[in-house]
Chains A and B, each alone.
Chain A
């Protein structure tokens, strides 16, 4: 999975949520901290679900691991539906 480069961000210090503008669709999205972390990781590198879950678990200290993984799967589905991430064949 990878996040497209057509994303424009705005974060604010000490705020969990951020906003994102997608240059391709022209849409603006309000993102949770987890969604923001996920997209930023995917912008840096193509990651599979296991790699992504591992990095997010470290970043957000989510436990238990299985619940966190399900949460990340749901998040990826939502981001995919919004066109904010794309599947990449390896």
Chain B
């Protein structure tokens, strides 16, 4: 059953009792939380995801709770716990949702070494997946969101997941967090997008989360064959241009951009090598989102 199929009050009860188990891509996330309005926001942004039966088995056992300190009387906070440990400082309680999102990123990056985890957006169209690996600030998430709201399937805006020894991308479709000016740009670009509230003055600036399209979530067990590795860079004043990138250089950039390449050793090397062998590799500078989408559409049509 999806979150949309359950009354919000029931979701809040499940959250409070720790019986809320969300399936997102390959992961089962058990969440316990006593934060007001979190159930409604989860339902709004993850409404197409499956709520799983509580079996005690989950990849991550997460708790969002309000610390019982003096601050709770004048500036309440929310704390993220994984298996009872808190890896970060608390956030203001009204930033509990971005805390959950960043905390879940941390859990995946820290523990999911059954996968090679590339720091990359991944989208798919016509059976061909494009990896968009990039460092923060390159416009990766904005471009990813633009593609997704022009008909591309979202696999992830952050994690390119591959099981070592295979060559298929594993979907992990979650909310796309956009920052600062990108929020208004994407809202204009895709007025139909469902967007969560703007969380002002987070450590990354103003942040808002775009709901993943229902079709991407419904196809989240369907792997995708990679066809292209494209390193995007938002460059003001630059026409959308794809420039071929030598494969050895693409290898080094992709591996250097991974969360756990070094930890996986030779199996990481062989998996990246196989991926690069099967893909065309490019650098991509762009300015205008419509032209960027058109350029990438042309690649797969």
Residues of A within 8 A of B (CB): 8, 10, 12, 15, 17-19, 21, 23, 26, 28, 30
On chain B, the residues within 8 Å of A19 by CB distance are 248, 251-252, 269, 273
On chain A, the residues within 8 Å of B249 by CB distance are 17, 30
On chain A, the residues within 8 Å of B262 by CB distance are 26
On chain B, the residues within 8 Å of A15 by CB distance are 246-248
Please tell me if the beta carbons of A12 and B247 are within 8 angstroms of each other in the complex.
yes
| Bound Cα distance A8, B271 (Å) | 13
- Report 14 cross-chain contacts, Cβ distance below 8 Å, ordered by A residue: A8-B270, A10-B248, A10-B251, A10-B277, A12-B248, A12-B277, A17-B246, A17-B248, A19-B251, A19-B269, A26-B265, A28-B255, A30-B249, A30-B251
Confirm or deny: B215 has a beta carbon within 8 angstroms of a beta carbon on chain A.
Answer: no
| Bound Cα distance A12, B249 (Å) | 11
Please tell me if the beta carbons of B252 and A21 are within 8 angstroms of each other in the complex.
no
Q: Chain B: interface secondary structure?
A: helix
| Bound Cα distance A21, B270 (Å) | 9
A15, A21, A23 — which one has the most chain B CB atoms within 10 A of its CB? Answer: A21
Q: Which range contains the number of B residues in contact with the other chain? A: 10 to 19
| Bound Cα distance A30, B273 (Å) | 13
Please tell me if the beta carbons of B265 and A23 are within 8 angstroms of each other in the complex.
yes
Give 6 new A-B contacts, CB below 8 A, not counting A8-B269, A17-B246, A19-B269.
A10-B276, A12-B246, A12-B276, A15-B248, A30-B248, A30-B249
The contact string, 1 if C-beta is below 8 Å from chain A, for chain B 261-301, is 11001100110010011000000000000000000000000
Please tell me if the beta carbons of A8 and B266 are within 8 angstroms of each other in the complex.
yes
Q: How far is the CB of B275 from chain A (nearest CB, A)?
A: 11
Q: How far is the CB of A34 from chain B (nearest CB, A)?
A: 14
Please tell me if the beta carbons of B248 and A28 are within 8 angstroms of each other in the complex.
no
Please tell me if the beta carbons of B248 and A18 are within 8 angstroms of each other in the complex.
yes
Q: How far is the CB of A49 from chain B (nearest CB, A)?
A: 27
| Bound Cα distance A21, B251 (Å) | 12
| Bound Cα distance A21, B269 (Å) | 7
| Bound Cα distance A17, B281 (Å) | 15
| Bound Cα distance A28, B252 (Å) | 8
Q: How far is the CB of B131 from chain A (nearest CB, A)?
A: 17
On chain B, the residues within 8 Å of A21 by CB distance are 266, 269
| Bound Cα distance A25, B251 (Å) | 18
Nearest 6 A/B pairs, CB to CB: A17-B248, A21-B269, A10-B273, A12-B247, A30-B252, A19-B251
